[in-house]
């Protein structure tokens, strides 16, 4: 998976569900994707937050992207927004110091910054999954994304690849089977929690989830998903 900045709960469910999780830091950066932006509640309404990047070539890899020169000012403004937005959230006192440490991290490379944030949130959530960088595996180039995934699984000695449910149309279970690799998909259950007295807004950044849910509830929410095969049949179901 690409190293997203403060992604939604399902991303962390996926990390918790696998033996090893590979951050695709050497994948191509996709402009206007979720890699460097997400959604939170500001003034109790859904709002996009963006981590600004320097301009670079359109074929840049994620680990070749750097934050804009005014990022220190931008992250200070973001922290102020989060403080004002979530000051009355039930878990603010515990979570805001974590957000402050992660957002104020002085790394300027986006991939390394995102890795630091993902590892920090995993520690808070009690997720002990091994996390690796794809650039460290030295896999070489692939014209087909499926061949890259298969090579990654093989390099790590695995026999099954778990992908978010949105990838059903991207991968061929038969092709994986020819290479001795099982293909499964993660589907997050519908999740609702109290966001002040507002109508619930789903699939916001993990920041929102952490602000409103104590650790015992977070542990339960991490298990609210199912694992399906390519035909949509459920292999495993959790809470």
pLDDT, residue 239, reads 38
pLDDT, residue 59, reads 82
Tell me the C-alpha distance between 51 and 78, whole Å: 9
pLDDT, residue 76, reads 95
User: Mean pLDDT throughout 39-58?
Assistant: 91
Query: Other C-beta atoms within 10 Å of 88: how many?
Result: 9
- What pLDDT, in 10s, does the model give residues 68-80? 999 999 999 999 9
pLDDT, residue 3, reads 96
Residue 231 binned pLDDT confidence (cut-offs 50, 70, 90): confident
**Weakest mean pLDDT among 12-26, 49-63, 104-118:** 49-63
* CB of 135 closer than 8 Å to CB of 26: yes
Exposure string over 1-33, b if 16+ CB within 10 A, otherwise e: bbbbbbbbbbbbbbbbbbeebbbbbbbebeeee
Let me know the angle formed at the C-alpha of 168 by 110 and 64, rounded to the nearest 5 degrees: 15
HEC-encoded secondary structure of 64-94: HCEECCCHHHHHHHHHHHHHHHHCCCCCHHH
Instruction: Report the mean per-residue pLDDT for the chain.
Output: 93
* CB of 214 closer than 8 Å to CB of 90: yes
Residue 32: C-alpha distances to residues 37, 53, 67, 101, 176 (Å):
8, 11, 15, 26, 30
In the chain, how long is the greatest CA-to-CA distance?
54
Checking if the pLDDT of 106 tops 50, the result is: yes
pTM of the model: 0.94
Checking if the pLDDT of 238 tops 60, the result is: no
- What pLDDT, in 10s, does the model give residues 23-43? 999 999 998 789 999 999 998
* CB of 168 closer than 8 Å to CB of 57: no
């Amino acid at each position: 998976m690409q190293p997203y900045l403060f992604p939604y709960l399902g991303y962390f469910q996926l990390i918790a569900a696998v033996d090893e999780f590979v951050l695709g830091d050497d994948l191509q950066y996709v402009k206007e994707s979720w890699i460097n932006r997400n959604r939170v509640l500001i003034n109790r309404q859904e709002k996009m937050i963006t981590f600004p990047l320097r301009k670079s070539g359109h074929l840049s890899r994620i680990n070749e992207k750097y934050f804009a020169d005014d990022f220190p000012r931008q992250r200070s403004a973001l922290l102020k927004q989060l403080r004002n937005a979530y000051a009355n959230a039930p878990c603010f006192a515990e979570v805001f110091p974590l957000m402050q440490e992660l957002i104020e991290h002085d790394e300027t490379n986006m991939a390394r910054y995102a890795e630091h944030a993902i590892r920090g949130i995993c520690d808070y959530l009690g997720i002990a999954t091994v996390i690796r960088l794809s650039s460290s595996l030295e896999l070489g180039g692939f014209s087909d994304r499926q061949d890259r995934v298969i090579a990654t699984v093989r390099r790590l000695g695995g026999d099954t690849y778990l992908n978010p449910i949105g990838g059903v149309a991207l991968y061929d279970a038969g092709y994986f089977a020819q290479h001795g690799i099982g293909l499964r998909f993660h589907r997050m259950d519908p999740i609702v929690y109290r966001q002040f007295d507002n109508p619930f807004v789903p699939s916001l950044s993990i920041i929102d989830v952490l602000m409103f849910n104590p650790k015992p509830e977070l542990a339960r929410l991490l298990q609210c998903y199912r694992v399906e095969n390519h035909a949509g049949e459920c292999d495993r179901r959790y809470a």
